[in-house]
Amino acid sequence: ASINQISSRIFPAFERSFSAAASPSEPIRATLFPGDGIGPEIAESVKHVFNAAQVPIEWEEHFVGDKVDPRTESFLTWESLESVRRNGVGLKGPMATPIGKGHRSLNLTLRKELGLYANVRPCYSLPGYKTRYDDVNLVTIRENTEGEYSGLEHQVVRGVVESLKIITRQASLRVAEYAFHYAKANGRQRVSAIHKANIMRKTDGLFLKCCREVAEKYPEITYEEVIIDNCCMMLVKNPSLFDVLVMPNLYGDIISDLCAGLIGGLGLTPSCNIGEGGIALAEAVHGSAPDIAGKNLSNPTALLLSSVMMLRHLKLTDKADQIHNAILNTISEGKYRTVDLGGNSSTTDFTKAVCDHL
Ligand code: NAD
């Protein structure tokens, strides 16, 4: 099969739900946060490819500031948030968070302020790039606003700390509804709710209850529940058992990195945050990769594929297909691959090769 055929088979995610193509008469404005670490390098790669493919996008670029904005209580300025609200779409690079101290995660602030309630993380085997599996084709849908990420932590007494896991019926129903809607719109057959309700009986119990409620409205989709530890084992043993997975925040964060490992690593996996009022903010699954930042070594594929998700959301289907196929063809051909994929190409050489494949 040609890459074109393979690509439409393995990448139904984010396609059919927005299938009608758009041809805007004026450029569409989209917000761009280059982010930290490798963020500016891979954002540069996206800009380069978009220019070469003549994508009708005008970037509104916002840098993460170096001073706390009192209105957001973080390094993220109010103007940056307003830009995403106004444009409705954007692409963000990774944002670093200090470990165990310092400011609150900018990623959390963004998700909270923009009501980005679902994070969609497609993960599929890339044609021509061999890993232990050649049939991975799944989508993790992560609840994005609560769970252990509520930011409610405090010291009870010296030597004892408490962290609150919040699960609400409203957020659980919303993400479950999104997962089933997504499965139906993208021709997927199964939704698995991933949980630990045998131990977290109240919180994950409520999450499951909401998933079951929504599942009843979608009799054409097979619904199952899998305990997270078993899910990890099944994913590593036979990832083709899964189709769409929906889960609370922390589990989604961890499981999607596990999934990235199945297909070749974090350099390859894209995502898109879906928010209230139809906001879409695409971003790679990976972080700022400080170990390779500034060395022209990073793989821009994950952010490029995220930008493809953004284009599909905007119904710029032709441009999305063109860029998507150019990325797959470049990797499949094997001449230009970044170091994380066993090659020796720099970020800029790989980007150039993608442009040559457009
Ligand atoms: P990471 O994802 O940045 O890196 C993990 C490993 O994967 C590293 O070895 C890195 O070199 C490699 N890697 C990641 N992306 C790559 C790419 N595009 N090309 C080649 N190799 C790549 O995770 P980490 O090191 O645990 O976190 C670093 C920082 O990123 C932390 O401050 C963390 O809070 C932040 N982070 C941000 C986000 C986000 O913005 N959404 C997500 C995860 C982590």
DSSP letter assigned to residue 18? G
Q: Is residue 92 scored above 50 in pLDDT?
A: yes
pLDDT at 21: 60
Instruction: Kindly report the backbone phi and psi dihedral angles of residue 69, in degrees, each rounded to the nearest multiple of 5, phi listed first.
Output: -90, 120
CA 265 to chain centre: 14
Q: Is residue 84 a contact partner of residue 279, using CB atoms and an 8 Å limit?
A: yes
One-character DSSP codes across 162-200 = EE--B--HHHHHHHHHHHHHHHHHTT--EEEEEE-TTTS
User: Mean pLDDT over residues 282-309, rounded?
Assistant: 97
pLDDT band at 149 (very low <50, low <70, confident <90, very high): confident
Closest residue (by CA) to atom 5 of ligand 1?
A: 289
ipTM of predicted assembly, 2 dp: 0.99
pLDDT at 7: 43
CA 248 to chain centre: 15
281 CB-side CA count, 13 A: 30
Q: Ligand 1 in contact with 266 (CB < 6 A)?
A: yes
Q: Is residue 273 scored above 70 in pLDDT?
A: yes
Q: Ligand 1 in contact with 94 (CB < 6 A)?
A: yes
Cα-based distances in Å from 123 to 135, 262, 272: 10, 9, 12
Residues 6+ apart with CB under 8 A from 300: 41, 42, 45, 46, 338, 347, 350, 351
Q: Ligand 1 in contact with 291 (CB < 6 A)?
A: yes
Q: Is residue 14 scored above 80 in pLDDT?
A: no
59: left (phi over 0), alpha (psi -120 to 50) or beta: beta
Record the tokens describing residue 304, joined without a space: 């490029």
pLDDT at 315: 87
Rounded to whole angstroms, the Cα distance separating 52 from 125 reads 26
Closest residue (by CA) to atom 26 of ligand 1?
A: 287
Rounded to whole angstroms, the Cα distance separating 79 from 215 reads 39
User: Mean pLDDT over residues 90-118, rounded?
Assistant: 86
Separation of CA 174 and ligand 1 centre (Å): 28
* Interstrand relation of 190-195 and 137-143 (parallel, antiparallel or unpaired): unpaired
User: Mean pLDDT over residues 185-197, rounded?
Assistant: 95
Q: Ligand 1 in contact with 7 (CB < 6 A)?
A: no
**pLDDT, tens digit, for every residue of 63-75?**
877 677 888 777 8
Least confident of 16-30, 61-75, 77-91, 238-252: 16-30
pLDDT at 4: 45
pLDDT band at 98 (very low <50, low <70, confident <90, very high): confident
pTM attached to this predicted model:
0.94
Q: Is residue 238 scored above 50 in pLDDT?
A: yes
Q: Ligand 1 in contact with 269 (CB < 6 A)?
A: no
Instruction: Kindly report the backbone phi and psi dihedral angles of residue 272, in degrees, each rounded to the nearest multiple of 5, phi listed first.
Output: -140, 130
Report the candidate in 240, 267, 263 with the shortest Cα–Cα distance to residue 132.
263
pLDDT at 101: 67
For a mutational test of ligand 1's pocket, the pick from 288, 339, 346, i.e. the residue with the most ligand atoms closer than 8 A to its C-beta, is 288
For a mutational test of ligand 1's pocket, the pick from 286, 292, 298, i.e. the residue with the most ligand atoms closer than 8 A to its C-beta, is 286
pLDDT band at 12 (very low <50, low <70, confident <90, very high): very low
Q: Is residue 53 scored above 70 in pLDDT?
A: yes
pLDDT at 71: 81
Which alpha helices (H) appear in 129-286, and where do they start and end? 169-185, 203-215, 228-237, 249-263
User: Mean pLDDT over residues 252-264, rounded?
Assistant: 97
Q: Is residue 56 a contact partner of residue 316, using CB atoms and an 8 Å limit?
A: yes
pLDDT at 73: 79
Separation of CA 247 and ligand 1 centre (Å): 21
Separation of CA 149 and ligand 1 centre (Å): 18
Rounded to whole angstroms, the Cα distance separating 324 from 177 reads 28
Average pLDDT, the chain: 91
One-character DSSP codes across 55-77 = --EEEEE----SS-BTTTTBSS-
pLDDT at 354: 98
Closest residue (by CA) to atom 43 of ligand 1?
A: 287
Q: Is residue 87 a contact partner of residue 31, using CB atoms and an 8 Å limit?
A: yes
pLDDT at 22: 65
Q: Is residue 1 scored above 60 in pLDDT?
A: no
For a mutational test of ligand 1's pocket, the pick from 140, 266, 347, i.e. the residue with the most ligand atoms closer than 8 A to its C-beta, is 266
**pLDDT, tens digit, for every residue of 331-346?**
999 999 999 999 999 9
DSSP letter assigned to residue 105? P
Rounded to whole angstroms, the Cα distance separating 73 from 44 reads 28
Rounded to whole angstroms, the Cα distance separating 135 from 120 reads 19
Q: Is residue 230 scored above 60 in pLDDT?
A: yes
Residues above pLDDT 90, as percent of the chain? 78
- CA-299 nearest atom, ligand 1: 19
Separation of CA 94 and ligand 1 centre (Å): 8
Rounded to whole angstroms, the Cα distance separating 268 from 270 reads 7
